[in-house]
Amino acid sequence: MNEHPRYLDKRSTQTLRERLAEYYALNPHVTKPATQPSEFADILRAHDAGHVIYGCDTGMYDELKILPLFWWTSECTFQTYLRMKDSPAVDVMYKDLIKEKGALWLYRAVLRVLPGVILELIPIWFKTRNRQKLLPFLEFEPLLDRSLIDIRQDFDLLPFI
The answer to whether 52 and 4 are in contact (CB under 8 A) is no
Report how far residue 61's alpha carbon sits from residue 23's, in angstroms, rounded to the nearest whole number.
17
pLDDT digits (tens, 9 = 90+) for 10-57: 889 999 999 999 999 998 988 888 988 888 889 889 999 999 999 999
Q: Report pLDDT for 2.
A: 42
